[in-house]
Structure 1
Amino acid sequence: MASWKRDFASGLVVLGPILVTLYAIYWLYGLAAGLTPGLILSADALEPLISGSSAQAAQTREQVAQFLRVIVALTVFVILTFSVGYLMRTTIGGLVERLVDNLANRVPVIRVVYNASKMAAETAFGEQESLQKPVKIETWEGLRMTAFKTGKVTTDGREVLFLPTSPNITTGYVIEVEPDEITELDEDVEDALTRVLSAGFGDANHRGMDAGISIDVIDEAKTSRTDDD
């Protein structure tokens, strides 16, 4: 009984992320194909390459044309993104950005959506300082919590730390702590983040089913308690 449970759980650990990733790619492709205009490339233009008047040939031409339209649209988007990014490094780019911000902030509903999406983009793709060495701080007597150095220091000499919540590390608290109240840890950021993300159960050196308690051990413990009763 315990063996097939462990095998099934191990299979889910491997196949689950793969299936979710494939579905996300399929969904994004369908979204891009639906938004791509047919004016970019008509299916009739592929008739010299894919000849035939049958329904199967027409469907094949349409599928190939749709795929090529997605490739063209993504290429244009990437070029446009790089061009805008390069423009933002110039004085004109800064002026354009401030102009767009001012216009968006004057519209009540658009202002909320624009600022929220801009903040999300800056958080995900912006050039921000990465989390540095993890540390421990004693928030209450005898209770320690994991935090991360940000590399910032206040004017009065306190170190600025980020104290994430678990298991959602995208939220947390920015705290200012005296240097002598910080306990240095002999581990890297990945180890500390793994512990926080897994609510204390994970281990960066062990992935998958090896990171937790064996199902066999749990089942044996249940069986032992049943026999004792």
Structure 2
Amino acid sequence: MADGDEGRKPRGLALFSGLHLTLAARLKAYLFTGILVTAPISITLYLAWLVVDGVDRLVDNLLPAAFRPDQLLPFTLPGLGLVLLLIFLILVGMVSAGMVGSLLLRLGEALVGRMPVLRGIHTAVKQVFETVLAQKSDAFREVVLVEFPRKDAWSIGFVSGTTRGEVAQLLDGADDMINVFVPTTPNPTSGYLIFVPRSAVKPLRMSVEDGLKLVVSGGLVAPGEGGSIP
């Protein structure tokens, strides 16, 4: 064998190595694709199961032992506690819509309003739920770009309404001040509340859901040209 052929691999062995590397690369790509496909679905189903199981446990602990679903039925039915909770909330809404229910509701709110600590908590929580759940409200229904935290640095923000109260009085003279919530990444439940003029923000066509996806993903999942994330 010549000296130049000593470091050269046989043709069959080189071909086998090439096929081996190609197969490994494909398996690796398939593995990552499988993770990307199954991970979001699995995590979503797991979180949904945690919610359902937690509500079932809560309802089971609140009900008397003789009326618990696992005592009345010969088998366990997941989600039954959630169904019972929804029925209970619907019944509370029906009763509250009547005259007697409205009277009891006003009496309860008046009683809570006399308690120093609970009064502030009840008022704040009630305002938040009324603002978010009211169909006529514009809270968190508009995504904007706002110059934050410094000039020439833009952040995703959600308009939560028009500036009112003492803040609006102090900023009297400014043109159309609005409240903008700037969430943090990747946890959008925390953030900053800033008050800026309407002219200082740039409205985006994307929905609030798409804006949250953009924030949570750290910019990896972005909406398309039509303003919607596929």
TM-score (norm 1): 0.57
Structure label with greater radius of gyration: 2
Q: CA deviation at 1:160?
A: 0.4
Q: Displacement of 1:166 after TM fit?
A: 1.6
Q: In the alignment, what sits opposite 2:202?
A: 183
- Structure 1 counterpart SS, 2:56: helix
For residue 142 of structure 1, report the CA deviation from its aligned partner.
1.6
In structure 2, C-alpha distance between the alignment counterparts of 1:193 and 1:71, rounded to whole Å: 27
Distance verdict in 2 for CA 1:131–1:112, change over 3 Å: closer
CA contact (8 A) 1:132 1:189 kept: yes
Q: Deviations over 1:128-149 (max 9, x none)?
A: 4332332222232221122233
Q: Following the alignment from structure 2 to structure 1, what is the Cα–Cα distance between the partners of residues 219 and 82?
A: 43
Aligned residues: 185
Q: Which residue of 1 aligns with 2:108?
A: 100
Matches for 1:46-195 after TM superposition, within 5 Å = 62-64=72-74, 74=85, 77-87=88-98, 93=102, 96-107=104-115, 118=126, 121-122=129-130, 125=133, 128-139=137-148, 140-150=150-160, 152=162, 156=173, 157-167=175-185, 168-195=187-214
Q: Is the 8 A contact 1:135 1:183 kept in 2?
A: yes
Unmatched 5+ stretches in structure 2: 1-23, 225-229
- Whole-angstrom CA distance in 1 between matches of 2:198 and 2:124: 34
Identity over aligned pairs, percent: 21
Instruction: Give the TM-score of the pair, scaled to structure 2.
Output: 0.57
- Determine the structure 1 residue equivalent to 2:62: 35
Distance 1:114 1:15 in 2: 36
- 1:94-113 per-residue CA deviation (whole Å, 9 max, x = no partner) reads x6444323423545675577
Q: Is the contact between residue 149 and residue 159 of structure 1 (CA under 8 Å) also seen in structure 2?
A: no
Q: CA deviation at 1:15?
A: 1.8
Q: Is the 8 A contact 1:162 1:172 kept in 2?
A: no
Pairwise CA distance, 1:201: 2.5
Report deviation, 1:189: 3.0
Q: Counterpart of 1:101 in structure 2: which amino acid?
A: E
Given the alignment of the two structures, is residue 15 of structure 1 paired with residue 33 of structure 2, yes or no? no
Structure 1 regions of 5+ residues with no counterpart? 44-58, 206-210, 212-229
